[in-house]
């Protein structure tokens, strides 16, 4: 069979883009080479509908071992009694949670997308907002989750589920307070920890498992694995909400969630990706990963301070985790323009709405930055100051092509000090 040079030339081009740029998209990271190698292996050929020991196809004895290894490692990471490693993505994991515990039209609460929430937490453009009755809480003028508003709305609306978690929120969560109001109104607490999961795994942020009934995450971002999703329970339980399976039987929560993933929302699991998840989970269990998490926090703190010192308006005034959200209105530039111009300098960020934004989601007043990927490359605190200075230079000279070009040269020179996948040539 002839090699498809067109596709592989494009892949090589993408490798060079990643190598030569500064990656600051908070939801992106660089996997280890062995994670990528695991994804490109023969389990991609295997259909394995069902779960280990209970498959609907023959020949699953080896992929059963792979999936069980991923499950066992994930249980150790988060001290869980049950996990499901099959969701294809974080959105798939969240969809399965909804399917397991909610009926169409039932009420739930989530952080408003415009305030830093996620599409699957009730956006009217998403299944969560289309299928279910979404009620939102927001943040205060200071950019902190408005727990008073959350409590008042929960008491008034009595939602069946409360979601805590975000895609553009730089502070830790008060899971204990959310659980207290949930218990008062009889709600399920569902934590989506897709962004801070790697930091939570090493005890660097509050533990949602102590207070939340169900927890989901992606496996990329701060977990630094392949793109995928997971669902977890610290302790399995008989659901007190009387939720039944499709046959009308009461079941343990783990069983309801398993059924919601397969056959409820997915068919055959991606066993090659599950193999890569298992590799990544093994890496997370190492002491080296704990040092990585601590460096993420250190880098984020230095970068946040560097922007504040340059007069940038950080939502909530700083960060507790790996990301920061910057309101650019006092700099006279939109998020869209900042993203596009920084792209030309080979600094990758994403435009993002800020709380109480007066611009559309296609333009936005802000940009979101995260440090997991540059931390993986080996960058330390002193480099965060340099990166902030380069971003500031581009934003202050957005119409000066020469300045942007000069920064692009400096970016490439800097990133050559931090080789990415040198084994790939």
Cα 242 to Cα 320: distance, rounded to the nearest angstrom: 38
Whole-number Å distance between alpha carbons of 129 and 376: 35
Active site (annotated) includes residue 221: yes
Q: End-to-end CA distance of the chain, in Å?
A: 24
Question: Tokens standing for 293?
Answer: 């998490």
Point out the catalytic residue in the list 202, 221, 224, 234: 221
To the query of whether residue 227 is one of the catalytic residues in this protein, the response is yes
Alpha-carbon dihedral of residues 256, 261, 262, 264, nearest 10 degrees? Answer: 80
In angstroms, rounded to a whole number, what is the distance separating the alpha carbons of residues 134 and 104? 11
Alpha-carbon distance 80 to 148, whole Å?
31
Active-site residue, from 192, 207, 283, 357: 192
Q: Cα dist. 369→71, 84, 187, 344, 391 in Å?
A: 31, 30, 33, 17, 11
127: tokens are 């299944």
| Identified catalytic residue from 19, 28, 47, 106 | 47
Dist. CA 146–CA 138, nearest whole Å? 6
- Find the catalytic residue in 73, 153, 224, 227: 227
Q: Which of 218, 219, 341, 364 is catalytic?
A: 218
Q: Has 28 been annotated as catalytic?
A: no
Catalytic-role residue among 19, 28, 49, 305 = 49
Assign 136 to helix, strand or coil: strand
What is the rounded CA–CA span in Å between residue 182 and residue 223?
Answer: 28
Q: Catalytic site residue 65? A: no
- Give catalytic status of residue 49 as yes or no: yes
- Helix, strand, or coil here: 78? helix
Cite the active site residues: 47, 49, 192, 218, 221, 227
């Amino acid at each position: 069979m002839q090699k498809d040079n067109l596709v592989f030339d494009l892949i090589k081009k993408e490798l060079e883009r990643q190598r030569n740029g500064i990656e600051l998209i908070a939801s992106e990271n660089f996997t280890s080479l062995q994670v990528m190698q695991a994804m490109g292996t023969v389990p991609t050929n295997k259909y394995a509908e069902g779960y280990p020991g209970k498959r609907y196809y023959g020949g699953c004895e080896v992929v059963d071992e792979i999936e069980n290894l991923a499950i066992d490692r994930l249980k150790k990471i988060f001290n869980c009694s049950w996990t499901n490693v099959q969701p294809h993505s974080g959105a798939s994991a969240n969809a399965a949670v909804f399917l397991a515990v909610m009926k169409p039209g039932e009420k739930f609460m989530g952080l408003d997308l415009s305030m830093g929430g996620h599409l699957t937490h009730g956006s009217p453009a998403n299944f969560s907002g289309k299928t279910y009755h979404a009620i939102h809480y927001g943040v205060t003028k200071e950019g902190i989750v408005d727990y008073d508003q959350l409590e008042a709305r929960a008491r008034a609306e009595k939602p069946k589920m409360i979601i805590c978690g975000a895609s553009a929120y730089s502070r830790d969560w008060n899971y204990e307070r959310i659980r207290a109001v949930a218990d008062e109104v009889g709600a399920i607490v569902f934590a989506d920890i897709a962004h801070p999961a790697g930091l939570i795994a090493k005890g660097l942020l509050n533990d949602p498992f102590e207070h939340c009934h169900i927890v989901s995450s992606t496996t990329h971002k701060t977990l630094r694995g392949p793109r995928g999703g997971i669902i977890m329970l610290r302790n399995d339980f008989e659901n007190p909400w009387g939720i039944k399976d499709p046959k009308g039987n009461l079941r343990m929560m783990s069983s309801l969630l398993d059924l919601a993933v397969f056959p409820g929302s997915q068919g055959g699991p991606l066993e090659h990706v599950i193999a890569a998840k298992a590799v990544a989970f093994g890496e997370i269990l190492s002491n080296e990963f704990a040092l990585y998490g601590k460096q993420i926090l250190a880098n984020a703190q230095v970068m946040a301070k560097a922007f504040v010192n340059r007069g940038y308006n950080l939502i909530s005034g700083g960060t507790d985790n790996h990301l920061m959200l910057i309101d650019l209105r006092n700099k006279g530039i939109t998020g869209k323009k900042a993203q596009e111009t920084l792209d030309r300098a080979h600094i990758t960020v994403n435009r993002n709405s800020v709380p109480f934004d007066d611009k559309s989601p296609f333009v936005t007043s802000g940009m979101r930055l995260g440090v997991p990927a540059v931390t993986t490359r080996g960058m330390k605190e002193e480099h965060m100051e340099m990166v902030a200075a380069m971003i500031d230079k581009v934003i202050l000279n957005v119409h000066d092509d020469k300045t942007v070009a000069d920064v692009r040269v400096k970016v490439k020179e800097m990133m050559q000090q931090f080789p990415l996948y040198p084994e790939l040539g």
